Homo-oligomer: A and B are copies of this chain.
Amino acid sequence: MKQVAERAGVHVSTVSRALNPETRSMVVPESVARVMKAASELGYRLDPVAASLRTGRSKLVGILVPDIATNVFTPILTGATERLSEHGYSVIVAYVGGDSNKQLDLAQGLIARRVDGLILATASRDDPLVSFCIERGVPSVLVNRAEKETRLSGVVSDDLLGAQLAVDHLVELGHSRIAHLGGPREHSTGYLRHRGFIHALAANGLDAASAPTEFAETYTREQGAAAARRLLSAHPEVTAIVAANDLLALGAYDVIREAGLNCPRDISVVGHNDMPLVDMVEPPLTTIRISHKEMGRQAADLLQQAIETLDHPARNVVLPPKLIVRGSTGAPRKGAMKKAAKTAASNKSASISNEV
């Protein structure tokens, strides 16, 4: 930097000001030009480490994602990274397991690296890491999963509505024996999609209280299959399954096939997420589409706001999901149409509250 200063015939502090967009206006344009020229001639670039040490800021943000990053988290990551890098931020990714202490450690490590903010894709409905970030005053936002209470800004899909869309679609096809293949209830996704399912059933005049329901412990095809097996053996009468997630739905496919049944002839299945390739499985999966990449982008925006205006109110962005009808849903099998809700029931359930 000193060399640049000499070459441009100014003092280092002027170089600093000229090179930093935020302070550039303090310097007369002519000097700026000379500094820029000298810098590029010398191939000089500001040292972010030294700057970071001095300012406490870093233009770095940390993203914590679950280590099972095989599906929805990748587009969230790319969306967020893309947007963030447009604004000069770099992204440190930490893949975290379920261990809450290790999560805290990782977060502390990132904070020690002076990240300007954190994006958490890992939150449970009541997450100690969120408390931690708030205590430490680190600008943070949630993505994909929200907490029970809105303590931090975040962006999620309208999971309640998504599940309702699924149920409404099935009811329109004539189903009344609808079961739920639920996800982990400690995550807002699992919890809300279940609640959306229940509400939609009731709104369609079906018996929500006794609706067959099984929960998978994790969002995997295997756990989905296990839960589906429990579901179908206890309730052979069901004609349709609303799964909390595509992978779970695919697990249900496995079970349906191994039971010698056919989807959708014997049982209809609806997934959630519309992850890549589910349009190519057999049968192509009817599901609820979420734009995960857009979630990532908006989370990035939210985080930038949180960084810039430190004392901002927590704000929740809820993205609308969309029903994508493909081949895994159809009319219920003959003999199963008992007391079906004949009223055209679409959207009956659209106005229930969206608290987590």
Q: Which A residues are within 8 Å of any B CB, using their own CB? A: 45-50, 52-53, 58, 60, 67, 69-71, 74-75, 77-78, 81-82, 85, 90-95, 108-110, 112-114, 250, 253, 276-278, 280-282
Q: Is B47 in contact with A49, judged by CB distance below 8 angstroms? A: no
Q: Is B92 in contact with A92, judged by CB distance below 8 angstroms? A: yes
Residues of B within 8 A of A93 (CB): 77, 81, 91-93
Residues of B within 8 A of A50 (CB): 53
- Closest chain B CB from A108 CB (angstroms): 7
Residues of B within 8 A of A81 (CB): 93-95
Q: Which 9 A-B pairs have the closest CB atoms?
A: A282-B282, A280-B281, A277-B277, A74-B74, A49-B53, A49-B52, A53-B53, A93-B93, A45-B112
Residues of B within 8 A of A94 (CB): 81, 85, 90-91
Residues of B within 8 A of A277 (CB): 250, 276-278, 280-281
Q: A74-B70, A78-B67, A78-B95 are in contact. Are A250 and B280 (CB under 8 A)?
A: yes
Q: A63 — nearest CB in chain B belongs to which residue?
A: B93
Bound: A78/B77 CA distance, A: 13
Q: Is A113 in contact with B48, judged by CB distance below 8 angstroms? A: yes
Bound: A92/B85 CA distance, A: 12
Q: A250 — nearest CB in chain B belongs to which residue?
A: B280
Residues of B within 8 A of A281 (CB): 277, 280-282
Q: Is A90 in contact with B92, judged by CB distance below 8 angstroms? A: yes
- Closest chain B CB from A75 CB (angstroms): 8
- Closest chain B CB from A333 CB (angstroms): 22
